[in-house]
Chains A and B, each alone.
Chain A
Amino acid sequence: MSSTVYIAGLGVISAIGNNVAEHLEAFEHEEAGMGDISMLDTIYRKKLPVAEVKLDNGHLAAITTLPADTSRTALLSLVAAKEALNDAAIPALDTLRTGFVSANTVGGMDRSEHFFIDFAKDDSKGKLRNVYDHECGCITELVADQLGIKDFLTTISTACSSSANAIFYAARLIKNDVLDVVIAGGTDALTKFTLNGFNTLMILDDEFCKPFDEHREGLNLGEGAGYLVLVSEKVAKILNKKPYCRLSGYNNSNDAYHQTASSPDGTGSYLAMKGALEKSGLNASDIDYINLHGTGTPNNDSAEGTAVKRIFDPNYPPMSSTKSFTGHTLGASGGIEAVFSVLAIKHGIIYPNLRFETRMSDLPFEPEKRFLKGQNINNVMSNSFGFGGNCTSLIFSGVSK
């Protein structure tokens, strides 16, 4: 049984880049990914900004060699998962027990939306090909087949904490000696379904979002995918390069307050952060950076801020919401932000919280506004909280030099 789980590879695609290198560049130049809707056929074009991946399905299909009518959720997933697997470059991978644990919330909804236009009028109509991969699990299966992974695959869907839970589950599959290597994270594509859903909840900002700002008005939806390659101690030893870091702590707790709203005192987020710290054996003062969930909605940031205060007061580490760059990528956000957390350790960087102006009146701290380089970052906490009260925190820790 492997007691330590290492991170050996990274892959990411979002509105600010199609791979890890492009993301680092966008962060350094403070280039946010939001803009007008260009791909979805919706009445909200030019009304609600979103953070779209800048490649259309044709381009993504060409890169991945999947058919162009594949769900965008799978196309995005394959780009990032492949990058992660190539980055890890694990010797003799085919001799190891390898799994793919991927999360998403929309599945093939981007195709189902087309199907339902005809189907809603007459249930004998609608092109079946468009609904065939509707299920969340279909997306994982399509990508696993392309990656050649057969030993284990599964899909997690816990709203916006989905891919943090995928990483968490993957680590435990290694610790329980079920697998040696797991590619874990998540993916979600923008759909009319989610855009309209969040719009009915009146939590979308019609300007670019301002996480943790007193005058924040909501979130911007984004899309993308992010994956880590997790490996056992045994595999870490045969790598051609040093692993990035360890997954040292994790916790999944439930707010049990409301289906979509967070409790005012941030019970779920507090329990998740506290539990992850306990699991890692670290103190709050050991955390060098927090990648906040920070959606930009009044409710989330207030609850999360309260929970951060309960744990870290009075010594706050630097923290920021990278959703100010990528928008809220829902089921992918935990995976994408796990990649950012690992990169923070690797490169000693802290990401700016864009557009922050005014400290929240009920909080004694504020997020970092500048891009910082040359930092000594050893422990990073990544928060992912979702509908249904699903709260998960992960902690990544450096490996001794």
Chain B
Amino acid sequence: MSIYIRSSACISPQNTFGNDNFLNDVVEYTGTRFKAIEPDYKEFVDAKSLRRMSHMIKMGVAAAIKCLKNGHTEMPGAIITGTALGCLEDTITFLTRIIEQDEELLPPTAFIQSTHNTVAAQIALMLKCHQYNNTFVHKGISFESALLDAMMLLKEKEADNILVGGADEMTDASFAILSRLGLYKRWPVSNLNLYSAKSKGTVGGEGVAFFLLTDKPSENNLAELTAIRTIYKPANLEDIEKRVIQFLGEHSLNINDIDLVITGKSGDMAHDDIYEQLNQSLFIRSNLANYKHLSGEYPTSMAFALWLASNIIKNETVPETVIERQVKKIAPKRILIYNHYQKIYHSLILVSAI
């Protein structure tokens, strides 16, 4: 059985939403925090609801509705989201008020909207969708867990037209905390030179990408979602290589069958060494691409990478800005995405032309 990506929609720090111009007008950032470019939400949500919604909920709902529209589908068969940090803005608002107001006279709205399942719930509420609804919250594989859920539902014939997405927001507080934890670069760098900076730390990002998955073939589908795999704390580089080879082998493929490898290189010396080594070993003859200079680093950035991969396949072109090493000019038919989050969670997604 094959699983297809019928449509997608992505809100990111680049012009990825409602724009036919596929990453030709790259937005330059010189700081270490990339903020999502917000669309006009009024097209998706009524003004009254908009006022109550946090940044995260607005992005989530708009991307979900747009994805359904792109797939000419009114009602999804299931709604599944992945988010590592959930609705941070509302969480921090409520937490700060508890402290500042000494637990008294607290308004409930921030608490109500702080639960991790709020985005999936708000989409269900707007659509009056009573179907399967789930939310995964596991650090760097939150989106991958959601994707696996969606793929299993399709294989079980439990649902079709499954809306699945990854969403995370960056707030001032989370940026301050993650900076103190040493995640980001200490000096500004242009995202256009992110990978040549050779310093510790990456750049923070945020965003939402939704996908509509189906088992029905159609020439309008973007791509086939062939397989997904997550690996927790691999022993060493050889272990990673072995598991990548095994993963491809399960689909009767080897690395030479892969037209493009998209890696999660983040500009952080301490984390990019894995990619650098693979690029000189297993991926030595592969065409290579990167994406985190566009999206920034965040736990569900694989959703951005999947959006990129499926649109590369559909458009039969690799945007200039993502190319790291192009061995031969091609319209990729098979793309392998490999990302690791903090060297702990490693993910592989295989996307193929339909």
Is chain B found bound to chain A in the same assembly? yes
Interface positions of A from 134 to 171, Cβ below 8 Å from B: 135-138, 140-141, 144, 150-159, 165, 169
Q: Is the CB of B106 within 8 A of A196?
A: yes
Known: A157-B137, A175-B156. 15 other contacts (CB 8 A): A43-B104, A44-B103, A113-B95, A136-B137, A153-B138, A156-B137, A165-B134, A173-B152, A196-B103, A197-B108, A256-B124, A256-B129, A256-B130, A388-B115, A388-B122
- Are A137 and B232 also in contact (CB < 8 A) when A252-B133, A257-B125, A389-B121 are? no
Q: Hey, which chain B residues are within 8 Å of A43, CB to CB?
A: 102-104
Measured CA separation A234–B25 after assembly (Å): 55
Which of A165, A200, A255 contacts B111 (CB under 8 A)? A200
- A132 close to chain B: CB less than 8 A: yes
Q: Is the CB of A154 within 8 A of B145?
A: yes
- A215 close to chain B: CB less than 8 A: no
10 interchain residue pairs of minimum CB distance? A388-B121, A197-B111, A200-B108, A137-B139, A157-B116, A137-B138, A155-B138, A154-B145, A136-B137, A254-B133
Q: Hey, which chain A residues are within 8 Å of B128, CB to CB?
A: 256
Measured CA separation A335–B104 after assembly (Å): 32
Measured CA separation A150–B172 after assembly (Å): 34
Q: Is the CB of A271 within 8 A of B130?
A: yes
Query: What distance in Å separates the Cβ of A146 from its nearest Cβ neighbour in chain B?
Result: 14
Which residue of chain B is the closest to A272 with respect to CB atoms? B130
Interface positions of A from 154 to 205, Cβ below 8 Å from B: 154-159, 165, 169, 172-173, 175-176, 178, 192-193, 196-197, 199-201
Q: Hey, which chain B residues are within 8 Å of A124, CB to CB?
A: 176, 180
- A379 close to chain B: CB less than 8 A: no
Which residue of chain B is the closest to A118 with respect to CB atoms? B99
Query: What distance in Å separates the Cβ of A316 from its nearest Cβ neighbour in chain B?
Result: 25
Measured CA separation A267–B132 after assembly (Å): 13
What band does the interface of chain B fall in when counting residues whose beta carbon is under 8 Å from A?
35 or more
- A358 close to chain B: CB less than 8 A: no
Measured CA separation A271–B133 after assembly (Å): 13
Which of A105, A123, A192 contacts B173 (CB under 8 A)? A123
Chain B residues within 8 Å of A, Cβ to Cβ: 79, 84-86, 92, 94-96, 98-100, 102-104, 106-108, 111-118, 120-122, 124-125, 127-139, 141-142, 145, 148-149, 152, 155-156, 172-173, 176-177, 180-181, 230, 232-233, 344
- A131 close to chain B: CB less than 8 A: yes
Measured CA separation A137–B139 after assembly (Å): 5
Measured CA separation A159–B120 after assembly (Å): 12
Query: What distance in Å separates the Cβ of B341 from its nearest Cβ neighbour in chain A?
Result: 10
- A29 close to chain B: CB less than 8 A: no
Q: Hey, which chain B residues are within 8 Å of A172, CB to CB?
A: 149, 152, 156
Query: What distance in Å separates the Cβ of B347 from its nearest Cβ neighbour in chain A?
Result: 12
Q: Is the CB of A105 within 8 A of B111?
A: no
Query: What distance in Å separates the Cβ of A3 from its nearest Cβ neighbour in chain B?
Result: 11
Measured CA separation A152–B232 after assembly (Å): 7
Measured CA separation A157–B142 after assembly (Å): 11
Query: What distance in Å separates the Cβ of A49 from its nearest Cβ neighbour in chain B?
Result: 17
Q: Hey, which chain A residues are within 8 Å of B130, CB to CB?
A: 253-256, 267-268, 271
Q: Is the CB of B141 within 8 A of A154?
A: yes
Query: What distance in Å separates the Cβ of A86 from its nearest Cβ neighbour in chain B?
Result: 22
- Are A253 and B132 also in contact (CB < 8 A) when A112-B95, A119-B177 are? yes
Measured CA separation A352–B134 after assembly (Å): 31
- Are A387 and B95 also in contact (CB < 8 A) when A124-B180, A137-B139, A259-B122 are? no
Measured CA separation A153–B137 after assembly (Å): 11
Which residue of chain B is the closest to A44 with respect to CB atoms? B103
Measured CA separation A152–B148 after assembly (Å): 12
Query: What distance in Å separates the Cβ of A344 from its nearest Cβ neighbour in chain B?
Result: 27
Query: What distance in Å separates the Cβ of A266 from its nearest Cβ neighbour in chain B?
Result: 12
Q: Is the CB of A155 within 8 A of B137?
A: yes
Q: Hey, which chain A residues are within 8 Å of B156, CB to CB?
A: 172, 175-176
Q: Hey, which chain A residues are within 8 Å of B181, CB to CB?
A: 128, 132
- A260 close to chain B: CB less than 8 A: yes
- Are A154 and B125 also in contact (CB < 8 A) when A196-B98, A201-B108, A388-B115 are? no
Q: Is the CB of B133 within 8 A of A154?
A: no
Measured CA separation A193–B124 after assembly (Å): 26
Query: What distance in Å separates the Cβ of B154 from its nearest Cβ neighbour in chain A?
Result: 11
- Are A120 and B99 also in contact (CB < 8 A) when A197-B94, A388-B115 are? yes
Which residue of chain B is the closest to A116 with respect to CB atoms? B95
- Bitwise interface map of A from 362 to 401 toward B, beta carbon under 8 Å scored 1, else 0: 0000000000000000000000001111100000000000
Q: Hey, which chain B residues are within 8 Å of A193, CB to CB?
A: 94-95, 98, 111
Measured CA separation A105–B115 after assembly (Å): 7
Which residue of chain B is the closest to A197 with respect to CB atoms? B111
Q: Hey, which chain A residues are within 8 Å of B177, CB to CB?
A: 119, 123, 128, 131
Q: Hey, which chain A residues are within 8 Å of B85, CB to CB?
A: 135
Measured CA separation A299–B101 after assembly (Å): 29
20 A-B Cβ contacts within 8 A?
A44-B103, A105-B116, A119-B173, A120-B99, A132-B181, A137-B137, A141-B344, A152-B232, A154-B136, A157-B116, A158-B117, A172-B149, A175-B156, A176-B155, A200-B107, A200-B108, A252-B134, A254-B129, A254-B130, A271-B130
Query: What distance in Å separates the Cβ of A95 from its nearest Cβ neighbour in chain B?
Result: 18
Measured CA separation A90–B118 after assembly (Å): 38
